[in-house]
Structure 1
Amino acid sequence: MTDLYDRINASFSAQGLMATLDAKLALVADGEVHITLPFAKRLSQQHGYVHAGAITSVVDSACGYAALTKASPGYEVVTAEFKINFLRPALGDRFLAIGRVQSAGRMLTVSTGEVRAYGPDDDSYKVIALMQATVVNVQLIL
C-alpha cells in the first residue's frame, strides 16, 4: 500500500454512507479514484433501477477522493457543487464510479466523474451518468 492509498482509504472507511451502500474503493491513483457499487434491491427506486441518489453519492465520492489525491497534507476536501447528467437508467449487476481531476488549484479542484453499468459479463458496460464537481480544500484543525 502507498501513503496515497492509505490517506484515501482512511477517509473512505470513515464514511457511513459508503458502508451503507456497500461501495468499495477499487483504484486509487494520482488524480483518479474508482469506487464500485453492487446492485442491491434496497438501493432501487420504484421502477427497479438503482436510485439516482445512490449513483450520485458514489460518483460524488469518486470525484472528491480524486481531488483529495491532489490536496496538500493537512487538508481534507468537501464538495462545493456538482452537476450530474443521467444518460440512461441505472440497470446493471454492478456499477463503477470513476473520478478524475481536470484541474487542481491551491484551494479548488475541478473533477469529472463517470458511472458505468456492467452486466453479467465484465467486458462490456454502458455509461449511465456524468458529473462535473468543484471540490474545496479545507485545512484540518487539530
Structure 2
Amino acid sequence: MCAFTPQDPDFQTRIQASFDKQGLMGTLGAAILRIAPGAVDIALSPSPSVSQQHGFVHAGAVSAIADSAAGYAALSLMPPGAGVLTTEFKINLVAPAAGERIIARGRVVKSGRTLTLAQTEVFSESAGGEKLVALLTATLMTIEGRDGVAN
C-alpha cells in the first residue's frame, strides 16, 4: 500500500472519539489497536456474547469490526469535520473466526474526494500465529455539511 497524508492533523483523536461513541463496538467489546494514515486495526476478544451456535465468533460481529476498520481507515484521510458512511461492502468469510483474539486490519486502497475504496483483512490469533478468516471490500463516502453526520 502507498503512504497517505491525512488532511486532519488531529485525525487520531477524532477517530478514537468517534469509535468511543459507537454503541455496537462497546457491546461487542471491540477496541482500536492502531490508527495511522489510511489504516485502522480493531480487535475483538471471542466470548459467548459474540458467538454463534457452534462457538465461533458470529459473522455479524466479524462483519461489524471489519466494516468499522475500513470506515475509520477512510476517515483518517478525510478533512476535519467530515463524516464517513459505508455505501457498500462485500465480505468473504473464509474460515471460522475462533481463537484468542480477532483482529480486523482496515486499509485504504484508493482515497477520493467523495468515495474511498478500502479493504479489511480479518485474522484470528491463536498461540502466537494468525489465520485469515475474512476479507471485506468497502466503498465509503465522505459526508460534509450534513447535520448529525460529523465525526
Q: Residue 3 of structure 2 corresponds to which residue in structure 1?
A: none
Total equivalences in the alignment: 139
Tell me which residue corresponds to 1:24.
31
**Letter paired with 1:5:** Q
Structure 2 counterpart SS, 1:117: strand
2:91 equivalent to 1:84: yes
Cα distance in 2 between the residues matched to 1:37 and 1:44: 12
CA contact (8 A) 1:71 1:137 kept: yes
Give 5+ residue unaligned stretches, structure 1.
none
Deviation at 1:91, TM superposition (A): 1.2
For 2:15 and 2:145, locate their aligned partners in 1 and report how far apart those are by CA, in whole Å: 15
Equivalences for residues 47-66 of structure 1 within 5 A: 47-66=54-73
Q: TM-score, normalised by structure 1?
A: 0.94
Alignment of 1:73-112 (within 5 A): 73-112=80-119
Any idea what SS the aligned residue of 1:60 has? helix
Unaligned segments of structure 2, at least 5 residues = 1-8
The alignment's C-alpha RMSD in Å is 1.1
1:74 Cα deviation from its structure 2 partner: 2.0
Superposition TM-score, scaled by structure 2 size: 0.89
1:127 aligns with 2:140: no
Distance 1:35 1:91, change over 3 A: same
Maintained 8 Å contact 1:34/1:98: yes
Aligned-partner SS, 2:139: strand
Deviation at 1:21, TM superposition (A): 0.3
Task: List structure 1 runs of 4+ shifted beyond 6 angstroms.
Answer: none
Work out whether residues 39 and 95 of structure 1, in 8 Å CA contact, stay in contact via their aligned partners in 2: yes
- Aligned partners of 1:140 and 1:21: how far apart in 2? 31
Q: Deviation at 1:140?
A: 4.1
